[in-house]
Structure 1
Amino acid sequence: MNLMFSALREEDREIVLDQCMDPLLKIGEDGIPIAIQMSGLSLEYLAKLRPEHLERLKILIQDDHCEFIGNGYSQVIQPLAPYEINVKNQELGMQCYESILGLRPKIATVNEMAFSSSSSESFIQTGYTGLIMEWNNPYKTHPDWDESMRFFPQRVNLGKGAEADLIWCDTILFQKFQRYVYGEIELKEYMENLKKYKDQNGALCLYCSDAEVFDFRPPRYGDEVSSGGEWLRIRKLMDAVQSETEGLILPSKVIENYKEEGSNLLQLETSSQPIPVKKQDKYNINRWALTGRDDFNLNTRCYRIAEAFSIGDPNDDDWKKLCFVWSSDLRTHIENNRWEQAQFIISELENKWVNSQEMRKYLVPSHDDAKPFDIKSNRYFSIETANQILTLDTKKGLSIKQWSVEGVPLLGTVPHGFFDDISLAADFYSCHSVIEPQGSHKVTDLVQIEPWLAEDEEKHIVGMRLKIKDHVFEKVYEIDKSNNTFSVNQTIQLPKRYRALIRSCYFTLLPGVWDMDTSFYKTALGGKEPERFRFGDAAIDHTQNLNQLVSTRHGLGVTDGEIQIGDANNSIIFKHEPSEAALVPHLQYLPQKNGHYLLRLIYSAQELDETFKTSDKP
C-alpha cells in the first residue's frame, strides 16, 4: 500500500485509505492470510489520517492473519543511491515500523524490483533476513536456471559472504490478477490459468504490486474511472483460491515450509542486465535516473546534499527529507502540487547544507591565460608528458584521436571501415557529445573548432567553446604532467528541456589492446563495494532502444562515480562526480567474428520514456 504513489494528490490519500486499505483489511479480518507492505513514510500517513485502520492492522498482525513487509522509510531506487543513503533509509524505516507497529519486519520487498546485490546488503544490515524479488527478468538472463526454482524460496548472493532468503513474485501472474480485477477476464479464465500449476509442488505469489489502484483512479488516468466492485471481485478470487487450491499462506511460511527444496545460492544480475527491474522492458533503471520531470537534475541535487551530509552532522529530520526527495515516486508521473512540494523541501535542504561557495565549484573553470591555437596546418595536435600522449582532433570538436600510456594506445577513434559489419560502418569517436531530438536531426560538437591552450605547474589545459543553433558546448581537457591521467570537463547548454537523448560523453576503447577472455567492468551499484562483471562472448548494448517512446533498456548506477574497465593485466578507471552531474553510463560491447570488438562507455544525461515531461526552462 503506497500512499506516496506518484499520481496521488495530497487529498487522495484519505480516499485511498477508505476505498483500498479498508477492504484489504476486511479480507484479513475474514481469516484469509494476507501480507501488506508499506514504507515508513506511508505508515506515518496511515497513523495520522486513519488511526482506526492502523489499530485494525496491528490486530491482524498479532492474530497471524497478516504479515507486515518492509521496504525502508522511502521508496528509494537503491542501485541509484549511495550506500550510506540506502542504509539510512532502511534504518529510518525500521524505526518507524518499531515505533508505530511495535515490530521489526524480517522480509522486505526490493523497491520497484530494481535489484543489485551490493545495495541489497543494506536490508541485511538493518535486520531483514529475506527479500521478495521478481522472477521473470532475472530468469530471462539466466537460461541455465531450472524453471521449477520459481516455486521455491532460494538464497540470494549479496556479495562479501552476505546472503538472504529469496521469495519470488511473478509479473505475469500479478498482471493476470489485475486483468481479472479490472474485468478484462473472468474468474473462470483466471482459475483455469492457475490449474496448470495444480500438480506443481511449492508456492506461487499471486499478487505483489499496488493495492491503491483498485476501486480508485487518480486524475492522471483521465477518463478511465473505476466501475466499482473491484474489491468484491478480489474477494471472490480469494474465496476461489482458498476452496480450489491448497490455499493461501504468508510469505514467511513459504520460507519455512519449502526452504529445504530450494536452497540454491543465486546471482540475479548479469553483465548485460546489471540491474534487473520489474515487468516489461520500459521499466528500467533510466526511468528513475534520466526521464520524468527532471530526474537528472533532481538526482544531482540529492547527491550534492548527501555529499554535504557526509562531512556534517544531519539529524533524523534532515535524513528523512533527503530520503523523501530520493523517492522513486517523484521521478515518474508525479502530481504537480507534490512536485512543487518536493522542490521546496530540496531547496530547503540546499539552503541549510550547500552554501553558495560550494555551488560555484560545479561551474566550468575559466582560464584567463589561455592562448588560441593555430589549426590552419594541423588538424591533429598532441599533448605529451613523460608517460602519456593525448592527441586531439580539431575538425571533430576536439574529440580524442588517440590516448596512449607508455606507448600503448588505449582510447580514441575507431575509423570507418575498421569493422566488416556494415551496421558498424561509421567513425566511433571519443569525448564528444550527441543530442538526438526525437524526430529531428542530431546536434553534435563534431565540427571544426578553434581550441585554446593554457598551462600551469601541474597540467596542460586545452579547451573549446562552440555554439550550434541554440546549443552551447564547452569542453576543457586537463592533462596531468606527472600521472597517467587526464580529465575532461564538459557542459551543454540547451534553450529548454525538450524530447531528446543527451549522450554527453563517449569513450571508445581501442580494439587489440585488451584480452577479452579476462575482460571485466566493475562499478558501485548502491553498495559499499563495487560489483564486478565479465564481458564474455555475448553482446552487451545498454543503449538499445525499446521503441520510439522508450529510448533505452539498461544502465549503470555508478553511485560512487567510478567505473573500471580492464582485463587481467591492465585497466582504465573512469570517474565522474554525481554531485556535479548524476550521469548514467551505458556500455556497448559488440564482439565480431574476426576477433575485433566495439567497446564503448557512453555517459547519458537524458533518456526518454512515457514519464518524460518537457519544460520551457533551460
Structure 2
Amino acid sequence: MPQGFIIFHLNLAFSSIAEEARRDVISKCYWPLLELTKQTGIPFGIELTGWTLNQIAELDIDWLACFREMLQSRKCELIGSGWSQIIGPLVPYAVNVRNQSLGVEAYRRLLGVVPNIALVNEMAYSTGMVDIYAEAGYQGIVMDRDNVRLALGLEHSPLSAMPTHALGCGDKSLPVLWSDSILFQRLQRVVHGDIPIAEYVSCVRRRIEQGERMLPVYCNDAEIFDYRPGRFAAESRLHPEGEWLRFERVLTRVQRECDLHWLSPSDALARLGVDKEKRVSRLSSVTQPIPVKKQAKYNVNRWAVTGRDDLWLNTVCHQLHRALLEIGEDSSESWRELCELWASDLRTHITESRWQQALYRVSALKSRLAVDGRMQRQSCSVRPMQGEPASIERDEEGILWTITTPALKLVLNLRRGLAIHSLAFKSHGFAAVIGTLSQGHFKSIELGVDFYSGGVLIEIPNQRVRLTDLEWVTPRVEQFGNKLSISATFSFEFGVLLKTILVDTASEHIKLRYEFVEWTRPLGTIRVGKLTLMPEAFLGDLAVECVNGGFEKEFFGLVHDVDYGRAASMLVSSSSAFGCTDGRLAISDTMGRGIQLEWHPECCAAAAMLQHVKVHESHLTRVWFSLAELDDTSRPGGRLLPFELDIKPIKKD
C-alpha cells in the first residue's frame, strides 16, 4: 500500500507579512490547519521556529493550548526548526549551535515536547549542518531531494537510489525524510484552483504507478492558503470554495482514489528504515555545494548578496557574532537577538516597515556590544611593519611590472588595470599558480578570450552597463614597513573604485583590496577578486575545501564542470556559491599544492563563487567574490563594502 506524509511550515516572520497582520494569519491559516488535522485524522507534521511559537503564545494562547493538547494526544507531530529560520550554511558554527539549542528550549518550555526530526531551514543544506542537528539531539532531518539528486548525479536514477542517511563532516549521520518540490507545488496549485483536482490525482497516481511508495505529499508553507501575504503585485485570488476546505477535499479524494495511507513524519522515517537498505552519503557536491529547495532561481545567493542589503546585513551579523564571542556573552537574550537578525526573511521580500525595524535592532545591538569601537580597534586593514623593500622591474613597453621578493614573484599588467599576469611563491618553486591565460590558450572558441586575475566586473542589465577595471593605469607605489602598496583609481559614473595590491616583502603573502568610494549598490552584479588558476602548475584533480556553517571543513572534488556565475534565468544572475563562514577557501591538487584565500566576513561577507571547466587535458578554474547578485528579491540601494582578500600558498607536504 502506498503511504504518504504531510508537513506544514509555520512562519510568522514570513518576509511579506506585516507585524500587525500576524493575528490575521493565526486566524486564517493556523486555526484552520488544526481543524483540518481533526477533520481528516491525518497526523500532520507541524514545523515552526521557537520565535514563531513564542509570538503565537503572546497573540493567541488558545491556539497554543490546542496545539499542545493535540501533540500530547499524537494527533499531529512537532517538527523542529531552531529559534529562528536562518540559512545555516551562511552562518558561523556557534550561531547555528545556539539557534538550535534556543529552539529546543522554546519547544520544551511552551509545549512540553522536544521534536525528534528537524526540517532544514529553507531546505538550504550543507554537510556541516548534519553535525549541528545531531549535536542538538535530533534523530533525523527533512530535506528536499530534487537538488540533492542533481548534486549526486542521480537525477535520472529511480528515487529508490537516494541515500537513506546524510553523512556529516566526520562519522556522524542522520536518517533523511525526503520532501519533493514538484509534489508540494502541484498541491499548492490544485488548492489554489490553478489545476483541476482530477489532474492532481492523476499526478499522484502516476507517481505511485512508477514505484514510489512513500510520497511527501506536502512539505511547505501554511500561510498561503486562504491568505495572501502581498508579496507579488499579481497574486492569485483566493479560491471561492475556501482553500482549507478545498485542501480537505483534495486529500480525501487522493486517499480514496490512490488508496494512500497516511503516516506521521516520524513513522514515515521509521518505515523507510525498515523498507530500505541503509545508504549513507554526503548530500552535496561541487555542482550543488549548498542544495536548496525548488528550482535554480532559489539558490543560496538569494540570502547572501541580493535582497534590500544582504551584503551589509550579513556583514554586520558577523560583527555582532564576533563581539559576542570576544566578550564571552552567554545570555540567551543576546543570542536570540542575533539569530533573529540572521533570519532568512529579512533577506528576501521584507516589508519596508519591518526593514526599518530591523535596522533599528541592528543599531541597538551594535551599541550595546560596542561593535563599532571593536571594529576600529581590530581594523581589517593592514598594519605597517618593518622589512626590506621589494624590487620592481619594468618591461621595455611599460606594460608589465615584476615585483620580486625573497618569498614571491608578482607580475602586474598596467595595461589591464593591475591585472595579475602571474603570481608565484617560493614554496612552489616559483612556478606561477595564479595569473592570466591569454586569448588562444584554449583552442575552443567558447574560451577564446583573455582570462585575467585580480579584476572587477560590474554589470547593470537594466541600464545596459558593463564595467571593468581593464584599462591603462599609472599606479601609485608606497612602502609601509614590510608592505609594498601598489594602487590605482578608476572613475565610473557610479563612483570611484580604488584598487590596491599589497605585497608582503617578508613572507609568501599578497593582499587585494577593493574600495567603492561614494557608490550606492546598483541593481546589478558586482564581482571582484576574479582569480584564474594556471593549469600547468597543478597535478591531477583539484579540490576545494571550506566551512559551510559547521565546525569542520567540507571537501569538494572538481570532477564536474561548474559555473556558479552563470545566470539561472533572465532575472536570476547566478546559480550557487560556497558558504565559507570562517572567511577561508582553499584549492589544491592531489599533491597538496594550492592556494589559500582568506578574508574577513565581519568586514565584508562576500559570496565565494567558482567556475571550473575541463578542456581536454587542461582546465579553466576561476574563483571570485560577489558583492551583489540579482534575483526577484533584489532592490536598488544598499551599501558596497570594501573587500580585502589575502592570497597565500598551500605548501606541498
TM-score (norm 2): 0.90
Question: Distance in 2 between the 1:286 and 1:355 partners?
Answer: 26
| 2:374 aligned partner | 358
| 2:417 aligned partner | 397
2:356 is aligned, of 324, 337, 340, to: 340
Query: Structure 2 matches for 1:261-410, cutoff 5 A?
Result: 261-262=275-276, 263-314=278-329, 315-360=331-376, 362=379, 378-406=398-426, 407-410=430-433
1:143-183: CA deviation from partner (whole Å, max 9, x where unpaired): 35784445988111112111001000011110110011000
Partner secondary structure for residue 421 of structure 2: strand
Kindly indicate whether residue 215 of structure 2 is the aligned counterpart of residue 204 of structure 1: yes
1:213 is aligned, of 224, 233, 247, to: 224
CA-atom RMSD, angstroms?
2.3
- The amino acid that maps onto 1:89 is N
Kindly indicate whether residue 183 of structure 2 is the aligned counterpart of residue 141 of structure 1: no
Question: Distance in 1 between the 2:418 and 2:490 partners?
Answer: 11
Q: How far did residue 494 of structure 1 move?
A: 5.2
- The amino acid that maps onto 1:131 is I
Question: Distance in 2 between the 1:492 and 1:585 partners?
Answer: 19
Kindly indicate whether residue 451 of structure 2 is the aligned counterpart of residue 428 of structure 1: yes
C-alpha spacing 1:221/1:227, structure 2 compared with 1 (3 Å): farther
Moved more, 168-177 or 29-38: 29-38
| 1:82 aligned partner | 92
Moved more, 250-259 or 171-180: 250-259
| 2:503 aligned partner | 479
| 1:226 aligned partner | 238
Gapped regions of structure 1 (runs ≥ 5): none
Q: How far did residue 409 of structure 1 move?
A: 0.8
Q: Is the 8 A contact 1:275 1:555 kept in 2?
A: yes
C-alpha spacing 1:12/1:151, structure 2 compared with 1 (3 Å): farther
Q: How far did residue 255 of structure 1 move?
A: 2.0
Kindly indicate whether residue 575 of structure 2 is the aligned counterpart of residue 564 of structure 1: no
Moved more, 541-550 or 471-480: 471-480
- The amino acid that maps onto 1:427 is D
- The amino acid that maps onto 2:290 is I
Q: How far did residue 330 of structure 1 move?
A: 0.5
| 1:241 aligned partner | 254
Partner secondary structure for residue 221 of structure 2: coil
Moved more, 423-432 or 257-266: 257-266
Kindly indicate whether residue 477 of structure 2 is the aligned counterpart of residue 453 of structure 1: yes
Moved more, 241-250 or 61-70: 241-250
Q: How far did residue 198 of structure 1 move?
A: 3.9
Question: Distance in 1 between the 2:500 and 2:103 partners?
Answer: 44
Q: Is the 8 A contact 1:27 1:235 kept in 2?
A: yes
Partner secondary structure for residue 68 of structure 1: strand
Question: Distance in 2 between the 1:616 and 1:174 partners?
Answer: 34
Q: Is the 8 A contact 2:490 2:496 kept in 1?
A: yes
| 2:643 aligned partner | none
- The amino acid that maps onto 2:605 is A
| 2:3 aligned partner | none
Q: How far did residue 617 of structure 1 move?
A: 7.3
C-alpha spacing 1:72/1:150, structure 2 compared with 1 (3 Å): farther
Q: Is the 8 A contact 2:151 2:286 kept in 1?
A: no
Kindly indicate whether residue 436 of structure 2 is the aligned counterpart of residue 413 of structure 1: yes
TM-score (norm 1): 0.95
Query: Structure 2 matches for 1:531-570, cutoff 5 A?
Result: 531-536=554-559, 538-569=560-591, 570=593
Kindly indicate whether residue 610 of structure 2 is the aligned counterpart of residue 587 of structure 1: yes
| 1:514 aligned partner | 538
1:185-236: CA deviation from partner (whole Å, max 9, x where unpaired): 2222211221124454631110000001100012333353423400000111
| 2:267 aligned partner | 253
Partner secondary structure for residue 570 of structure 2: coil
Q: How far did residue 119 of structure 1 move?
A: 2.3
Partner secondary structure for residue 37 of structure 2: helix
Percent identity, aligned pairs only, is 32
Q: Is the 8 A contact 1:151 1:202 kept in 2?
A: no
| 2:550 aligned partner | 527
C-alpha spacing 1:115/1:616, structure 2 compared with 1 (3 Å): closer
1:452-496: CA deviation from partner (whole Å, max 9, x where unpaired): 222244332222223233321112222222321111222123532
Gapped regions of structure 2 (runs ≥ 5): 1-9, 641-653
2:25 is aligned, of 7, 16, 37, to: 16
Kindly indicate whether residue 478 of structure 2 is the aligned counterpart of residue 444 of structure 1: no
C-alpha spacing 1:466/1:144, structure 2 compared with 1 (3 Å): closer
| 2:647 aligned partner | none
C-alpha spacing 1:461/1:68, structure 2 compared with 1 (3 Å): same
Q: How far did residue 142 of structure 1 move?
A: 2.7
C-alpha spacing 1:358/1:393, structure 2 compared with 1 (3 Å): farther
Partner secondary structure for residue 260 of structure 2: coil
1:497-550: CA deviation from partner (whole Å, max 9, x where unpaired): 3211100211111121112x33211011111011001112x3111111122210
Question: Distance in 2 between the 1:356 and 1:289 partners?
Answer: 22
Q: How far did residue 238 of structure 1 move?
A: 2.2
Query: Structure 2 matches for 1:127-206, cutoff 5 A?
Result: 127-144=137-154, 147-149=157-159, 154-198=164-208, 200=211, 202-206=213-217
1:87-115: CA deviation from partner (whole Å, max 9, x where unpaired): 11001101111100111111010111111
| 1:607 aligned partner | 629
1:94 is aligned, of 87, 90, 104, to: 104
